[in-house]
Amino acid sequence: MRQLQLARLRAVAARAYQNVHLYRTRMDERGLGPESLCDPGDLSRFPFTTKADLRDTYPFGLFRQPMSEVVRLHASSGTTGKPIVVAYTREDLDVWTNSMVRALRRAG
């Protein structure tokens, strides 16, 4: 299980590094790359997304997928500043749907 988790963490880190300028810059500043994840404990050395990051890169600066693959956008109202925008692909919506179906079935 730990090896599977580590492989998936590395895959997420690699996608972020390869496709999102902000993460590539922050990892490079720390001397990190996806291969730096040798143990789940190494994750604490990696940059995390803050609400400020979402606002500072508004509207689409943290998107990894091209807009042609985005099928749904959700955005906050921006009442306390810039709105925050989140994009979903068809695969994202399928995962969400399956998760909700399982949760609702378990709840009866």
- What pLDDT, on a 0 to 100 scale, did the predictor assign at position 99? 96
Co-location of 57 and 42 in the same domain: no
Predicted confidence (pLDDT) per residue in 33-63, tens digit: 999 999 888 989 999 998 888 888 888 888 8
- In 3D space, the residue among 19, 24, 14, 18 whose CA is nearest the CA of residue 47 turns out to be 24
Co-location of 14 and 59 in the same domain: no
Average pLDDT, the chain: 91
Helix (H, G, I), strand (E, B) or coil at 14: helix
Co-location of 64 and 19 in the same domain: no
User: 2-19 and 21-29 are packed helices; what angle lies between their axes, rounded to 10 degrees?
Assistant: 110
Co-location of 54 and 26 in the same domain: no
For the record, the structure tokens of 85 come out as 């925008």
Co-location of 54 and 106 in the same domain: yes
Q: How far apart are the C-alpha atoms of 46 and 50, rounded to whole Å? A: 13
* Residue 37 domain boundaries: 1-48
| pTM over the 0.95 mark | no
Co-location of 31 and 54 in the same domain: no
Co-location of 38 and 60 in the same domain: no
Co-location of 105 and 60 in the same domain: yes
Burial class of residue 47 (count of CB atoms within 10 Å of its CB; 0-12, 13-18, 19+):
middle
For the chain, the domain total comes to 2
Predicted confidence (pLDDT) per residue in 81-91, tens digit: 788 888 999 99
Q: How far apart are the C-alpha atoms of 3 and 106, rounded to whole Å? A: 29
